Structure formats: C-alpha cells, structure tokens
Amino acid sequence: MRKRSKLALTLMSIPLATVFLTGCEEGDPRGLAENPIERTEFLLGTVANIKVFNEGEEEALDLAFEKVTELDEWFAKEKEDSQISEVNRQAGIKPVKVSEEVFHVMERALYYAEVSDGKFDPTIGAMTSLWNIGQEDAAVPEEEKLENVLDVVDYNLVELNEEEQTIYLEEKGMELDLGAIAKGYITDEAARILVEEGVNTAIVDLGGDIVVVGNSTRGESEPWRVGIQDPFDDRGDIMGMVELVDSAIVTSGIYERNFEEDGKSYHHILNPETGYPFENNISGISIISDNAMDGDAIATVAFAMGVEEGLDYINEMPDVDVIYVTKDKKVFTSDNLTHKVEITDEMFELVE
C-alpha cells in the first residue's frame, strides 16, 4: 500500500557558477600570491577544484583534498565499502555505527526532512538507484518497480541513536542517498581546513557547490564576482553576476543530468509522489547561504516548492537568498538580492 501523500525529491548540484578572478591589488596586506595554488581532481562524481591565493599554502591545499577524498569514501552510496552503503545493506536488519561526520549530516538531513514535510527526503536512494540517471544504463523503470520503491521512501522510517551513533533503516529495501546534502558538507569541510591552516583567500568548488573564503583578489574589501551560468548555453557562458564574501553558493538544475527515451527527456530531479522526474517551470536555482550544506538542502526544498512559494519560503529565512531561472528565461530573486544581481545577457529578464 502506498504511504500517505508526500512530496520528496533529490536535487544534485551541478557546476553552473563561475568565479571571476583578477590580479591582486597592489599593497594588499593578505600575503597573496600572483598566481593561485590550484588543484583539480575527479571526486564526488564530479570535477573538484580548489584555488588558494595565499603564498606558500601548498600543504593546506593537500590537507583539504585529503579531507574531500576521505569524506567521499564515507558518503558515496555508489561505493560498496562506504558507510552509507553499509547502512543501506543493513536496512530492516540492524543499526549501523557510523562516523561522527556521517551521523551529523544524517541528523541535519532529517531536520530538513521534518521542517519541509518531506520536500527534502534523504531516503530517496532506492528511487535514484532505480532510474540511475547520469549513468549509461539510465532508463525509465517498470511501473511495478516504481510502485514498490515509493513505499520505502519515507524519512519517518529512519532511526538515529545519538548515544550509540548508529543509523537504522526500518524497512528492507530502503536506501539513503545523501548526495543532496553531503557534497555541501564536504565543501564546507574543505574550506574549514583551509581557514584553520591560515588561508584567508580561496575558492572551493566541488562540482557547483562553491564556498568563497574571504574577499576577492581585487582588494581587501572587494567581494568575489560570481557569474551564474546560462542554463541554455555552453559551460562557462553566463547570464548574470552576483557578489559574495565568505559565503556559499549552491546551484542546481534539470538539464545536465538527463537522458532521452522514446523521444522524451527525463531529468534527475525525482518526485516520489509519482516516481517520475518532477515537472515545473524551473530550469536552474542558486541558493546563497552561510554554508554549502544547508544551501544544498534548501535548494531541494525551494525547487520543490516552485518559484512563488519558494520565494516566500526563502524571504522568511535569515541569511539565505535564492536566484531562480525559469524555462522561459525569466530570473526571480529573493528580496535581499533585488538590486544585487546583474543580468549580463539581454535574452534574460530580471523580474522585480
């Protein structure tokens, strides 16, 4: 039997933002290098890039990547030896003890599930596994299999034991998928390590989850200028700009991770109410917040709500902002960004 009606989905971040760099301001007291120390690796199923602008901080960069690699091994449901995979294997059997970091992210995921009444649901793993969108074997599942999966997507069936630091999925067949929040947490952790090591100017970009550390290289009091990707054009082509300091920006959309079958396109943002990809007029969404972990989860909720309800939701939240780009190339922002987003492509319209 289907559980009570509940909207939930997973939203995976994709790289849509570009941070624009210029030379360091003469006399800048931050000890910045002329050229950044930079490293790029394929982690978290995406391209991970970190730029450090302070002189002599190669070790800090190494430590940040070591942490990203370690956490990727713990959180990835696709990896058989990850902690999340073990929790999924023991669904309906027994609780699984996990690391402090995994337990913390799971607590936060359930918090957003509760406050959003399931619009964010970390137990959507069985559904994402069934569709497998983003992989070569992605396909529309059989209807019977979809119906069965719908019954095990329910965050209320997760039991946390803080004292034992365990996670238990109460029904066999349940699967966690923390991709819609863990990447943000990992981005935050990389930035935290850089700061602890003395870095004061850096960019951490893990596949579209971006944290900017400090002010930009243009000057000690100058913000970073972040370009928002044109969702209808090639990577790197932007449609607007926003300025950020010591902030996270998480951008997601429906058009990079998808496939076609029988002439119809299917994207990765799944609506467990129907078992099929969610349908609305949103092409892309960017959340600006103090940290990327919360930004990840809030992006999911705000996408699920749609533009009108989502704007009301974000406008009630302190220190959080949103940029929506719709399929008809209209741009909507939360109240705090009304005069802070610059549209650079005349094909897009900023709706105020």
On whether 321 is known to bind a ligand per the annotation, the reply is no
What's the pLDDT tens digit per position in 163-187? 999 999 999 999 999 999 999 999 9
Q: Is the pLDDT of residue 197 over 70?
A: yes
What's the pLDDT tens digit per position in 142-151? 999 999 999 9
d(CA 197, CA 35): 19
| Domains of the chain, residue spans | 17-71+181-351, 76-178
Let me know: does 239 contact 325? Beta carbons within 8 Å.
yes
Q: Is the pLDDT of residue 53 over 60?
A: yes
Of residues 235 and 319, the one with the higher pLDDT is 319
Q: Give the CB-side neighbour count of residue 279, counting CA atoms within 13 A.
A: 6
Kindly state the tokens that stand for 104.
């913390």
- Give the pLDDT band of residue 24 (cuts 50, 70, 90): low
What's the pLDDT tens digit per position in 207-264? 889 999 999 887 777 899 998 988 887 766 889 999 999 999 998 877 667 788 888 8
DSSP string, 244-305: ESSEEEEEEESSSSEEEETTEEEES-EETTTTEE--SSEEEEEEEES-HHHHHHHHHHHHHH
Kindly state the tokens that stand for 2.
């289907």
Task: List, in order, residues 6 or more apart from 66 with CB less than 8 Å away.
Answer: none
pLDDT at 45: 81
Helices assigned H by DSSP within the chain:
58-75, 83-89, 100-115, 125-131, 143-150, 179-196, 292-305, 307-315
pLDDT at 256: 65
pLDDT at 13: 36
pLDDT at 9: 34
Burial of 61 (0-12, 13-18, 19+ CB in 10 A): buried
Homologous superfamily (CATH) of 17-71+181-351 is: ApbE-like domains (3.10.520.10)
Q: Are strands 202-206 and 46-54 parallel, antiparallel or unpaired?
A: antiparallel
Report the sign of the C-alpha dihedral through residues 49, 50, 55, 61, in that order.
negative
Q: Is the pLDDT of residue 6 over 70?
A: no
Q: For 16-25, 130-139, 157-166, 298-307, which range has the lowest pLDDT when averaged over its residues? A: 16-25
CATH of 76-178, one of 3.30.1330.10, 1.10.3980.10, 3.40.50.10800, 3.30.1360.200: 1.10.3980.10
Q: How far apart are the first and last CA of the chain?
A: 45
The stretch 312-340 carries a mean pLDDT of 95
- Give the pLDDT band of residue 30 (cuts 50, 70, 90): low
pLDDT at 21: 52
On whether 180 is known to bind a ligand per the annotation, the reply is yes
pLDDT at 305: 92
Q: Are strands 270-271 and 96-97 parallel, antiparallel or unpaired?
A: unpaired
Quote the percentage of the chain above a pLDDT of 70.
90
Q: What is the pTM assigned to this prediction?
A: 0.89
- Give the pLDDT band of residue 205 (cuts 50, 70, 90): very high
Burial of 201 (0-12, 13-18, 19+ CB in 10 A): buried
pLDDT at 213: 96
Q: Are strands 349-351 and 330-333 parallel, antiparallel or unpaired?
A: parallel
pLDDT at 133: 82
Q: Is the pLDDT of residue 26 over 60?
A: no
The stretch 29-48 carries a mean pLDDT of 84
Burial of 193 (0-12, 13-18, 19+ CB in 10 A): buried
Q: Is the pLDDT of residue 16 over 60?
A: no
- Give the pLDDT band of residue 33 (cuts 50, 70, 90): confident
DSSP string, 108-133: HHHHHHHHTTTSB-TTBHHHHHHH-T
- Give the pLDDT band of residue 18 (cuts 50, 70, 90): low
Of residues 258 and 325, the one with the higher pLDDT is 325
The stretch 327-338 carries a mean pLDDT of 95
What's the pLDDT tens digit per position in 81-139? 999 999 999 999 999 999 999 999 999 999 999 999 888 999 999 999 998 887 788 89
Burial of 82 (0-12, 13-18, 19+ CB in 10 A): middle
On whether 300 is known to bind a ligand per the annotation, the reply is yes
pLDDT at 102: 98
